[in-house]
Chains A and B, each alone.
Chain A
Amino acid sequence: ELKVEQNPLFLSMQEGKNYTIYCNYSTTSDRLYWYRQDPGKSLESLFVLLSNGAVKQEGRLMASLDTKARLSTLHITAAVHDLSATYFCAVGMDSSYKLIFGSGTRLLVRP
């Protein structure tokens, strides 16, 4: 059974600081997704990582995937208040587009 662990669950950080969110998963997969969710809203797609060593960057966020270690990271650079949200990683199961989600990381960026 595929399990996805995300940490930390809650992150309070100051504006301008850097931090990394980690996503570990238990069985082989070559598809990993990162999403952002604002309160009361659905999911916004951030990154799709489809191969070992994949690295993608968008603004202050950078995601990477190491399929051998079964680990993905979401790195935040020089955080700003607008990044406050809940971030989920999700791992693809088998050949379908079924996803198993991590528990989410609630990020609060303080002025």
Chain B
Amino acid sequence: GAVVSQHPSRVICKSGTSVKIECRSLDFQATTMFWYRQFPKQSLMLMATSNEGSKATYEQGVEKDKFLINHASLTLSTLTVTSAHPEDSSFYICSASRGSGELFFGEGSRLTVL
């Protein structure tokens, strides 16, 4: 079964509202998780590194005030898209490692902003 779980899998929201996406490692502790976004028919783009107990590290061009990341425990990271706009509509995917080079991806969360 899945070792990294994301919730919700789909979310539709109105423009201007905020949406929270959760990423959980189910049977291991992850001090670091990663958030990616994927536009239709495109590749995955790394958005940020989520660090347990400290601030996230954002990639160049990613607005930290827009995409709030919180990694409050060793098994949970959350991504909040604040004041969402239609251009934020995308597929958001998280990943985490349980060591030895093995990486697991969540099932993804499809955000649609109306």
Contacts and interface: CB of A to CB of B under 8 A. Distances in A.
A81 to B, nearest CB: 21
Interface in B5-53: 32, 34, 36, 41-46, 49
Query: Lowest 10 CB-CB distances: which A-B pairs, in order?
Result: A42-B108, A97-B97, A43-B105, A101-B44, A101-B43, A42-B107, A103-B43, A104-B43, A50-B101, A42-B105
A98 interface: yes
Contacts, number: 54
Interface string A47-91: 010100000000000000000000000000000000000001010
Interface in B41-90: 41-46, 49
A33 B93 CA distance: 16
Interface residues of B, number: 23
A48 B101 contact: yes
A45, A88, A98, A102, most chain B CB atoms within 10 A = A98
A13 interface: no
Contacts of B42: 103-104
Contacts of B34: 97-99
A100 interface: yes
B101 A96 contact: no
